[in-house]
Amino acid sequence: MMTWTQEHPMTIVGLVLWAVGILWLMPGRRASKPRPHKIGVLIVALGLVTFCLSCGKTQSELADDVMFWVFAIGALMSGVLMITARNPVYAALWFALATLSTCGLFLLQHAPFLAAATIIVYAGAVIVTFLFVIMLAQQSGAAGYDQRSSQSLLATISAFVLLGAISLTLQSEKIDIVRPVVVAADSSADSAPIAGNMSLTFNLSPEPPVIVPVMPGNVMSKAKGKTPVGNLKGLGKSLFGDYLFAVELAGTLLLVASIGAIAIAPRREQGAI
Amino acid sequence: MTPDEQRFLLVGAGLFVLGAIGFLTRRNLILMVLSAELMLHGVSLTLVTFGNMHQTNEGQAFTIFTLTVAACEAGLALSLVLSLYRKSHSLDIQLWSELRESDMSGPDFDSSAERGKLSSYDDIPTLTPAGIAPKDPPRTTPSTGPTATRV
User: Based on the domain organization, do A84 and A106 belong to the same domain?
Assistant: yes
pLDDT computed for residue A125 by the predictor: 84
Phi-psi region of A182 (alpha: psi -120 to 50; beta: other; left: phi over 0): beta
CA distance A94 to A87: 11
CB A158 within 8 A of CB B35: no
* B contacts of A122 (beta carbons < 8 Å): 37
User: Based on the domain organization, do A48 and A99 belong to the same domain?
Assistant: no
Q: DSSP letters of chain B?
A: --HHHHHHHHHHHHHHHHHHHHHHH--BHHHHHHHHHHHHHHHHHHHHHHHHHHT-SHHHHHHHHHHHHHHHHHHHHHHHHHHHHHHHSS-BGGGGGGGS-TTS--PPPS-TTSTTGGGG---S--PPPSSSPPPPPP---TTTSHHHHH-
Which position has the higher pLDDT, A7 or A205? A7
- To the nearest 10°, report the CA torsion of A211, A216, A218, A221: -10
A197, pLDDT greater than 60:
no
A176 located within any domain: no
CA distance A140 to B76: 25
A88, pLDDT greater than 80:
yes
Domain boundaries, chain B: 3-93
A266 located within any domain: yes
User: Based on the domain organization, do A268 and A255 belong to the same domain?
Assistant: yes
Per-residue confidence band for A139, with pLDDT thresholds at 50, 70 and 90: low
Mean predicted lDDT score pLDDT of chain A? 78
A156, pLDDT greater than 80:
yes
What is the CATH topology of the domain spanning B3-93? Answer: Helix Hairpins (1.10.287)
* B contacts of A121 (beta carbons < 8 Å): 67, 70-71
ipTM of this complex prediction, to 2 decimal places: 0.73
Which of A54-68, A82-96, B19-33 is the least confident region? A54-68
User: Based on the domain organization, do A84 and A41 belong to the same domain?
Assistant: no
- Distance from the B80 Cα atom to the nearest Cα atom in chain A, whole angstroms: 6
A190 located within any domain: no
Which position has the higher pLDDT, A89 or B55? A89
Q: Which residues of A201-213 are buried (b: 16+ CB within 10 A; e: fewer)?
A: eeeeeeebbbbbe
User: Based on the domain organization, do A128 and A69 belong to the same domain?
Assistant: yes
CB B21 within 8 A of CB A156: yes
Range of the domain at A44: 8-27+34-56
A183 located within any domain: no
pLDDT computed for residue B145 by the predictor: 43
Q: What's the rounded mean pLDDT across residues A156-173?
A: 90
Number of domains in chain A: 3
pLDDT in tens, A93-125: 999 999 999 999 999 988 899 999 999 998 888
User: Based on the domain organization, do A76 and A107 belong to the same domain?
Assistant: yes
A100 located within any domain: yes
- Look at A133 and B74 and tell me if their CB atoms are within 8 Å: no
A165 located within any domain: no
Query: Which residues of chain B fall short of a pLDDT of 50?
Result: 111-115, 119-120, 144-151
pLDDT computed for residue A32 by the predictor: 67
A168 located within any domain: no
User: Based on the domain organization, do A131 and A88 belong to the same domain?
Assistant: yes
